[in-house]
Structure 1
Amino acid sequence: MSEPEQHHRSMRMPKPKNNAGRNLKAAVGVGIGLAILVLLGIILSPWGWYIVVAGAVAAGTWEVGSRLKESGYHLPMLIMLIGGQAIVWASWPLGTVGILASYVATVLVLMYFRIFYNGADKEARNYLRDTSVGIFVLTWIPLFGSFAAMLSLMENNNVPGTFFILTFMLCVVGSDVGGYAAGVFFGAHPMAPLVSPKKSWEGFAGSIALGALTGALNVHFLLEHHWWLGVILGCALVVCATLGDLVESQFKRDLGIKDMSNLLPGHGGIMDRLDGMLPAAMVTWLILSVVSSSYPV
């Protein structure tokens, strides 16, 4: 073998250990469309961002509710949808107080209405099961989603709210890209094989590395704050996003389904995209609240 051939062979990319597990062309096309929608929401924030988040919350709630109905659960979808929107939109004028009040009010209506779901003259069978699942869905989707919406209301030290949203979204992208690349090329040790066989510790390490780096760069250059807070943000976001993925995987495993729906070709359903972002939004809001209220002198 000649020296140029040996050099060319040595420069080849490592062969992936694992299959990506999805239609990459469709996934990329849909991903670009979603990115454009998100960018429009960011540019037109805060109201544009609230519309994007509220729309995603409504679609996710409907999607999860439909899968639950197919599996025999009984949830009053009108209450879930209206209450979910109230939780998100009340955060704009009232902040966390609006979120809590709307959440508690929706839970109360759900608890009372479920008693008479089958009619006043019929027994409310599976009351505890269905009410508990309804509260879980309200917590998982609109409650967590409302914290993502409130990122658009942050601004300080001449740093606009759009930069806080961008920091969140770029950290999510960094986590996804780092985990995907490391998982495909190096994944060998499953994190939770009985829940999500394709999720590996190598992928998690890749998410942590790129998520922390993205967080540090964004907090330092975009938000003009201490870079180490960005590292904390990136790591916390990755942990919450990973656990959120596992929660959705266990949810689907309990229902015996692969994807929440086929609404997004190459991605699955809305919740297959939001599963990690929703819990990550809450911890992001918490850390960035510290950032927005404590700029270095």
Structure 2
Amino acid sequence: MPDRERLREELRIPKPRNATGRNLPAAIGTGAVLGVVVLAAIIAGPAAWYPLLAVVSALATWEVLRRLRESDWLVPAAPLLLGGQATLWATIPFGVRGLTAAMSLTCMVTVVQRLFHEGMRTPPRNWLRDSAAAVFVILWIPVPLAFAAMLSTLEAPGGGDPGLQILAFMLGVIASDIGGFAFGVFFGRHPMAPAVSPKKSWEGFAGSLVLGIAVSVGSAILLLDRPWWFGVALGVGLVFAATLGDLVESQVKRDLGIKDMSRLLPGHGGLMDRLDGMLPAAAITWILLVLAS
């Protein structure tokens, strides 16, 4: 018996049931670099956090638009890219009202632009399909990122640092990912939604709940100065949001017939492959914090 197998038997380490499907060294290295960049922006405050998310919004939107165009979806790029920036930056002076106004205007401009993309004399083809895809992209990327941006300006309990609210949200999502990954690899047996994401299991979801709630309770007490029950609510909300976000992105890639959105991030795939769970989780975090205040 090889030394590694003998050591596994001696330590009774459970053998993984499923392949990870990742280049772990590359994924860990990329994750470390991203973590440093994000942490630096959180510490610097809105002056760095907003520009970082603006760049992320543009790159993620372009990544998705490129994939849509490769599959013969004609979604106007300029209105979405400019409108996404407006949706994010409008939250500084006007908050949620600015987000809503910029989002609504972007949707209208995009739909009208697609209507006349081929000119005034040529009937548009697949207009409804492409317009629906454009609105989906707006709601999928710029809007949640705008909520993530507003976390940096949302008043914290007791005059605390708003950056701690961003940190709590990100720690909860990361814990959900780690718990789901570990439990799914070692114990995953029952598929959660095989028609959408065959590798996601109920055992992995249970791991996400356990670790996501545990970390969120600790964050609520130590970082947010809030009671333990708020941490439970936050953890449950983050896990459900992150899981649904992952399933949505899986279905988008399935519709487009692709494995990754791009190869921008070694070990992770594309930017949206890393953001899929973060986006809805940011919106859920903002909502819960506002309700709690």
TM-score by length of 2: 0.95
Partner of 1:152: 152
SS in 1 for 2:218: helix
SS in 1 for 2:141: helix
- 1:140-193 deviations in whole A, cap 9, x for unaligned? 000111111111012331211111011011111111111111111111111011
Instruction: Please tell me the root mean square deviation across aligned C-alpha atoms, in Å.
Output: 1.4
Give, in whole Å, the separation in 2 of the partners of 1:241 and 1:174: 11
- Percent identity among equivalent residues? 53
Give, in whole Å, the separation in 2 of the partners of 1:155 and 1:14: 45
Partner of 2:228: 227
1:120 Cα offset (Å): 2.0
Structure 1 gap ranges (5+): 1-5
SS in 2 for 1:235: helix
Structure 2 gap ranges (5+): 1-5
Give, in whole Å, the separation in 1 of the partners of 2:20 and 2:179: 13
Give, in whole Å, the separation in 2 of the partners of 1:25 and 1:101: 43
Partner of 1:3: none
The answer to whether the aligner puts 1:99 opposite 2:107 as a matched pair is: no
Give, in whole Å, the separation in 2 of the partners of 1:9 and 1:78: 58
Residues 128 and 216 of structure 1, relative CA distance in 2, 3 Å threshold: same
Give, in whole Å, the separation in 2 of the partners of 1:7 and 1:33: 33
Give, in whole Å, the separation in 1 of the partners of 2:139 and 2:291: 23
Range 86-95 or range 61-70, more displaced: 86-95
1:8 Cα offset (Å): 8.5
1:248 Cα offset (Å): 0.6
The answer to whether the aligner puts 1:120 opposite 2:125 as a matched pair is: no
The answer to whether the aligner puts 1:193 opposite 2:194 as a matched pair is: yes
SS in 2 for 1:18: coil
Give, in whole Å, the separation in 2 of the partners of 1:37 and 1:93: 26
Partner of 2:3: none
Range 204-213 or range 40-49, more displaced: 40-49
Q: How does 1:272-287 map to 2 (within 5 A)?
A: 272-287=273-288
- 1:84-131 deviations in whole A, cap 9, x for unaligned? 010011112211100000000101111211111112221111111111
Give, in whole Å, the separation in 2 of the partners of 1:112 and 1:7: 65
Partner of 1:250: 251
The answer to whether the aligner puts 1:211 opposite 2:212 as a matched pair is: yes
Range 44-53 or range 180-189, more displaced: 44-53
User: What is the aligned length?
Assistant: 287
The answer to whether the aligner puts 1:271 opposite 2:272 as a matched pair is: yes
AA matched with 1:260 = M
SS in 2 for 1:74: coil
- 1:244-281 deviations in whole A, cap 9, x for unaligned? 11111011101100111111111010000111111111
Partner of 1:167: 168
Kept in 2, the 8 Å contact 1:99–1:143? The answer is yes
AA matched with 2:26 = A
Range 233-242 or range 111-120, more displaced: 111-120
Give, in whole Å, the separation in 2 of the partners of 1:132 and 1:47: 34
1:10 Cα offset (Å): 4.6
Give, in whole Å, the separation in 2 of the partners of 1:236 and 1:282: 10
Give, in whole Å, the separation in 2 of the partners of 1:138 and 1:217: 33
Residues 210 and 113 of structure 1, relative CA distance in 2, 3 Å threshold: same
Partner of 1:239: 240
Kept in 2, the 8 Å contact 1:154–1:160? The answer is no
SS in 2 for 1:153: coil
SS in 1 for 2:17: coil
Give, in whole Å, the separation in 2 of the partners of 1:47 and 1:119: 42
SS in 1 for 2:90: helix
SS in 1 for 2:199: strand
TM-score by length of 1: 0.94
1:15 Cα offset (Å): 1.1
1:80 Cα offset (Å): 0.5
1:290 Cα offset (Å): 2.8
Partner of 2:57: 57
Partner of 1:87: 87
Partner of 2:68: 68
